[in-house]
A and B are shown apart, each in its own frame.
Chain A
């Protein structure tokens, strides 16, 4: 299910893991363009709660999303300790506010379990699979659903 990304390296999938409200998530490294320190955003009118606003990334206007709100975990209080992951999703660039970035994992695709299905659970659609990292469980995010999820959240 992942080989469309062309990201297998020696059979492993490289992911960046980060925490949002105490939970560990990870994201395919090929989608990540850079990681920046938090800088204040310009608020957008009529935006959904998980849309923090837009930032200037070398002349481009990039929307920044609060993943915590997206997962229904409350708000991330933006501060200098937080970071913004700049990710490319299907041609569009967006920023994801997370608490902190931890490490780069190499995951064997076999070790990725399908997420358990909950009925009518909007946010699990963003979760592509779960991986054990030591004692922790990391949730692999599929950002391609972020735009659709935006519509869900608005409804």
Chain B
């Protein structure tokens, strides 16, 4: 039971990889830049999914994959030629296949309507072709049976097929493989019983049988390659062409094999030695040729190792501890006030370097290319395009950008939402686009790149841009902003992220699900990232997400407030400064403003904001950290002192305690104590925009009045 669950899980994991390969191949086909092996790779992916699904009796999946595979087979055999409509159908079929895999994995409900429609579409390609083929083929098959003279003109190969233990273990059946071969040409089989051990040495787990196949067909090597494609590496396969290069030997065995139905048990002793000899002798050259073909696609892929995520995480944690420990030791040594030229110091520097390197290495294990995520988004785009009747081109850049696995996983939902939004609200409909002088097909582009230690993800559409008047109207009607508030364009754009905001009055099937962009923002923030909007009327909208490379470490500025050490994430910090008295102005009762380069920026007293106000002593000179929040509004945090900038290991505080307003996480300092990492966006939240939500925690309200 447990084991079969394991195998099932392994199957679905494999499915993910296969789907990735499938979409990758289809994308190449879509761009019409197929490589020689593309169609084969696509076919293989579908075929493998079908095979695995069959083992688990996932009938829906099998039957759909089968149909899909048939079409691909036609394409592979050049009986069907690539055209855009076909590629689109295949993309949708792949989407549906992914859907079926998901349903099988998580027990969802099958979208059978779409499935049937697609089956029909696929049928159109196969049915048309198949009928023709069959008509064309019928007489030829008759010819085969009747006339022997045809046979010698066809090349024959001897195949020596020795399954390894793994082949059986993986659930392959030699009989099925041999049957498959037999269905595509003339085949005779012998079994090499020499390797059979005596009964007392017999180990049931270790396969000993070797099959000696003689196969005649138009292009026997290719057929053999195809049939044994999936057992490559888990069996010994030697393919030797019998005619042509070494005439005598091959000819004789050919003759022998062609003699009708040689009874297997009768001849082995005689036939085997020659076969084996020949096999081993010639194996060197032709098999290298055969292997080269197989290698081609293997070379590109680096060998990988599947490791449980848990193990990696434990390692990362331990390395995180090591970093902290290293910092602690360094601090202890510092306090000893040893003479400055000691070896200890340089050794410590090495230690630090090594620890850092180790950490980076471990972190990179978790990093994965965003490709799979982007492929999923391509699917979402197609679905959204279908649902809205808009024609959409989906373009991606930087799919090989590596990001932490968790980040990728947790980005899926917000990105899905953003893409749906972009298709549904961002792009105009066909008429609108034509009227605006744009091409009929809208474009959504998704890109990822590394930018100064962060990951930048952008979703760009070439639609109409944000309708700011409408946004403002809605926000006012919903009571999210006051009627007389005078907001700048970026501020209006940021209203989209307010909870309970949805621009579409009519709830569309696609994006009106009661969740708005605020969910996106929350998800991005939960990842330690920031999101911003850049919209040009008439030219489209760009959403940019900036994310930390990993969730485990970040750079921060070490400050102290009310006797506590705290960290301000460096991503938010613009600069640190000690303002002159003439640069600080008082507004109202207790609001201070900082004048910096012609701009008035509110000063936020972190101590008060966090409710730590216990000491009254006013500092002589203000120490300010100028921060910029995701909505580009600036704010100066007033702190007691600024100490250092360093990399800190992020520890969640929520697990054992619960969310703390104004604090995003914690870290452990060199002295073993905990320092809180400030959530600058929360601290600097501009009160006029903050929505009057009753559900918000009491602290918020308290702070607002403080």
Contact = CB atoms under 8 A, between A and B. Distances in A.
A51 B657 CA distance: 10
> Binding site of B, secondary structure by majority: helix, strand, loop or mixed?
mixed
A47 B676 CA distance: 13
A93 B674 CA distance: 16
A94 B321 contact: no
B562 to A, nearest CB: 8
B656 A61 contact: yes
A4 interface: no
Interface stretch (B214-222, B480-488, B665-673): B665-673
Contact of B564 (A43, A92, A154): A43
A31 interface: no
A42 B653 CA distance: 12
Interface of B: 317, 320-321, 324, 562, 564-565, 609-612, 651-653, 655-657, 660-663, 666, 668, 672-676, 698-699, 702-703
A59 interface: yes
B119 to A, nearest CB: 47
A40 B651 CA distance: 18
Count chain A CB atoms within 10 A of each CB in B317, B320, B652, B660 and give the residue with the most. B660
Contact of A46 (B324, B610, B652): B610
Contact of B668 (A41, A51, A56): A56
B51 to A, nearest CB: 41
A61 B565 CA distance: 15
B320 A44 contact: no
Contacts of A54: 653, 657, 666, 674
A93 B657 CA distance: 9
A59 B662 CA distance: 22
A42 B660 CA distance: 13
Given A45-B609, A61-B653, 6 more contacts: A42-B674, A43-B564, A46-B610, A54-B674, A59-B651, A61-B652
Contacts of B666: 42, 54, 61
Given A44-B663, A46-B661, A61-B666, A56 B653 contact: no
Interface in A36-90: 40-47, 51, 54-56, 58-63
A47 B702 CA distance: 13
Contacts of A60: 651, 656
A42 B612 contact: no
23 contacts: A42-B564, A42-B565, A42-B674, A43-B562, A43-B564, A43-B612, A44-B676, A45-B660, A45-B662, A45-B676, A46-B702, A46-B703, A51-B657, A58-B321, A59-B317, A59-B651, A61-B666, A61-B674, A92-B657, A93-B656, A94-B656, A94-B657, A154-B698
Interface string A7-49: 0000000000000000000000000000000001111111100
A137 B273 CA distance: 93
Contacts of B663: 44-45
B660 to A, nearest CB: 6
Nearest to B318: A59
B673 A63 contact: no
A92 B610 contact: no
Nearest to A58: B321
Contacts of B652: 61
Count chain B CB atoms within 10 A of each CB in A45, A46, A92, A94 and give the residue with the most. A45
A49 to B, nearest CB: 12
B610 A45 contact: yes
Contacts of B672: 56
Contacts of A61: 651-653, 655-657, 666, 674
Given A59-B317, A61-B674, A46 B656 contact: no
B673 A56 contact: yes
A56 B702 CA distance: 29
Contacts of A62: 656
Given A59-B317, A62-B656, A154-B698, A42 B676 contact: yes
A46 B653 contact: no
A92 B655 CA distance: 7
A55 B651 CA distance: 12
Nearest to B672: A56
Contacts of A47: 660
A46 B703 CA distance: 9
A60 B565 CA distance: 17
A40 B673 CA distance: 8
Question: Can you list the 9 inter-chain pairs with the closest CB atoms, starting with the nearest?
Answer: A45-B610, A63-B657, A42-B674, A46-B699, A92-B656, A46-B611, A61-B666, A61-B651, A61-B653
A52 to B, nearest CB: 11
A54 B702 CA distance: 23
B324 A59 contact: yes
A59 B653 CA distance: 11
Contacts of B660: 44-47
A39 B193 CA distance: 75
Nearest to B609: A45
A40 B671 CA distance: 11
Nearest to B561: A45
Contacts of A58: 321
Contacts of A55: 674
